[in-house]
Amino acid sequence: MAAAAGRIIAIEKSFKKLKEAGAFSPETAVTPEQVGVTSKYMLNDLIRYKNVKRTEEGRYYVPCKDGKHC
């Protein structure tokens, strides 16, 4: 149970890092290294659970129209 809670917290922190980097569209997407998220498992979790998108170039972003309500 504690491991699951730790994983959820890690997902939320990684999601927050993408938002703080301003990665809200394919044009503003960032590489995982730019935000300190290099685990393939974490990247897959972000895509699966937080609707994060990956560009063809391997950059990631949070799809959001206004950058606040995502």
Q: Per-domain residue ranges for the chain?
A: 2-61
Helices (H), the chain: 2-20, 32-35, 40-50
Residue 20 reports pLDDT greater than 70: yes
Which of 38-50 are b and which e, b meaning 16 or more Cβ less than 10 Å from the residue's Cβ? eeeebbebbeeee
10 Å Cβ neighbour count for 9? 10
Per-residue pLDDT, 70:
67
Mean pLDDT over 11-28 rounds to 95
Per-residue pLDDT, 23:
95
